[in-house]
Amino acid sequence: MTDPRDWGALLLRLTLGGLFLAHAGLKLFVFTPAGTAAYFASLGLPPAFAYLTMTAEICGGLALIAGVYTRLVAPAMTSVLLGAIVFVHAANGFWFTAKGGGWEYPAFWVVALLVQALLGPGLYALRLPGRLRLATA
Q: What is the pLDDT of residues 59-111, one digit of tens each?
A: 999 999 999 999 999 999 999 999 999 999 999 999 989 999 999 999 999 99
d(CA 23, CA 69): 21
Residue 92, judged by CB atoms within 10 A of its CB (0-12, 13-18, 19+), counts as: middle
Q: Name the more confident of 64 and 135.
A: 64
Provide the mean pLDDT of the chain. Answer: 93
Residue 8, judged by CB atoms within 10 A of its CB (0-12, 13-18, 19+), counts as: middle
Strand partners, 135: 125
Strand partners, 6: none
**Structure confidence by residue, pLDDT tens digits, 110-123:** 999 999 999 999 99
Does residue 43 surpass a pLDDT of 60?
yes
Of 57, 75, 53, 54, the residue nearest 18 (C-alpha): 57
